[in-house]
Amino acid sequence: MDGRRGITILGSTGSIGRNTVELVEARPDLYRVEALVANSSVDSLAAQARRLKPRMAVVADAAHYGALREALAGTGIAVAAGSEAVVEAARLPADWVMAAIVGAAGLAPTLEAVRRGAVVALANKECLVCAGDLMIAEVAAHGATLLPVDSEHSAIFQVLEPDQADKIEKIVLTASGGPFRSRSRAEMAAVTPEEAVAHPNWSMGAKISVDSATMMNKGLELIEAHHLFAQPEERIDIVVHPQSVIHSMVSYVDGSVLAQLGSPDMRTPIAYALGWPDRIHAPAPRLDLAAIGQLTFEAPDAIRFPALRLARRALQSGGSAPTILNAANEIAVEAFLGRRIGFLDIAAVVERTLDESDAGRPASIAEVLEQDRTARERAWAVIKSIG
């Protein structure tokens, strides 16, 4: 090894993955790449691999194996395909792994990196929602490090004093409110996938953009914060802050509230995780508070955004309720993007799936995956019954 940090990027062609690649490419003196993983975007993956020269490039969708092999012929980069190969990529001895696959599909490779005791930069919040208790236990058992990449959790991580954890009164997650913050339920009933994926402040993948529009994203982040910072549900507040400048806050017993601020640009929290425990330069626009003028706040509306209530309910129930919430939401978002159901049906499908499932206490990852699979089937059955 040459002293540079070895990096693996799971989900390198996505929104988080591309931003990570940009930052890694800017510092060849600090980073070398072990593996790049994508689902099916072969052209984009092959272009990244030709520039970054990883040891291995993997497509999860095996139908694209031939195309990737052809695109990287003669480069000396190992090429593989399929979900086993994704886990194999996570097993390569990278010091630092960006977990940026979307959805519970990221669970197995992220766990593999955790079990090697790697530093894992976690963007893939769904895997913590799906299997948080078991993941956190694995992190402790294998001496791995989880660095949050979600902007809110990166903010909290940056202002939370670990030796004062018992002096925390509240964690306050900020939420932009998404594109439908001030729409009525009647207006929301008619929104299209195109409107739902157009976020006012952040540029992101389709699934998280829809989650932001329903505010399920904030519900998932509530569960994510519970696992990352060991705080109970009632100590995590959510406040809507449409400018997305304050990324979250920690409130202490003496009344002090510490916040982290920045432009809404994911390159800042990704750079924080890449540089950690140091800091590296990121090309995000600098915050100009005088130009912004006003920072505003409002309470979230749990009537218009029932996803917040559902996520709190799942976290309070514990066991596999968050697994079911996440699985049903992934299916409902897919059905909405495929125009099978309306926007308001997303939370309705999640609620009915939760109502119709019995949330056991999964004792192993295999049991979590079984609960996840059953919840997906149930969610599809609910969708068929309404559409």
Using CB distances below 5 to 8 A depending on partner kind, what does residue 17 bind out of Mg ion, ligand NAD, none? ligand NAD
CB contact at 8 A, 62 and 81: yes
Closest to 11 measured CA to CA, from 266, 363, 337, 323:
266
Query: Under rule CB under 6 A, how many of the chain's residues touch ligand NAD?
Result: 28
Instruction: Rank residues 89 and 240 by Cβ distance to ligand NAD and give the closer one.
Output: 89
Q: Does 210 bind ligand NAD (CB under 6 A)?
A: no
Q: Does 123 bind ligand NAD (CB under 6 A)?
A: yes
Q: Does 224 bind Mg ion (CB under 5 A)?
A: no
Q: Which segment (12-20, 185-193, 250-258, 327-335) binds ligand NAD by CB under 6 A? A: 12-20
Residue 350, CA atoms < 13 Å, CB-side half-sphere: 33
CB contact at 8 A, 278 and 189: no
Supply the minimum distance, in Å, between the C-beta of residue 133 and ligand NAD.
19
SS3 state at 177: coil
Look at the block and give the residue holding tokens 């306050």: 172
CA distance 324 to 33: 35
CB contact at 8 A, 310 and 219: yes
Q: Does 202 bind ligand NAD (CB under 6 A)?
A: yes
Using CB distances below 5 to 8 A depending on partner kind, what does residue 312 bind out of Mg ion, ligand NAD, none? none
Instruction: Copy the structure tokens of residue 71.
Output: 């695109």
Supply the minimum distance, in Å, between the C-beta of residue 241 and ligand NAD.
16
Q: Which segment (47-55, 100-108, 135-143, 366-374) binds ligand NAD by CB under 6 A? A: 100-108
Using CB distances below 5 to 8 A depending on partner kind, what does residue 242 bind out of ligand NAD, Mg ion, none? none
H or E stretch including 143?
A: none
Using CB distances below 5 to 8 A depending on partner kind, what does residue 126 bind out of Mg ion, ligand NAD, none? ligand NAD
Q: Does 11 bind ligand NAD (CB under 6 A)?
A: yes
CB contact at 8 A, 209 and 175: no
Supply the minimum distance, in Å, between the C-beta of residue 152 and Mg ion.
5
- Helices assigned H by DSSP within the chain: 15-26, 42-52, 65-71, 83-91, 107-115, 125-142, 151-159, 185-189, 193-196, 206-214, 216-229, 267-275, 289-292, 306-317, 321-337, 345-356, 365-386
Among 150, 224, 330, 345, binds ligand NAD (CB under 6 A): 150
Q: Which segment (99-107, 271-279, 281-289, 320-328) binds ligand NAD by CB under 6 A? A: 99-107
Instruction: Rank residues 34 and 150 by Cβ distance to Mg ion and give the closer one.
Output: 150
Contact mark string toward Mg ion, 120..159, x via CB under 5 A? ------------------------------xxx-------
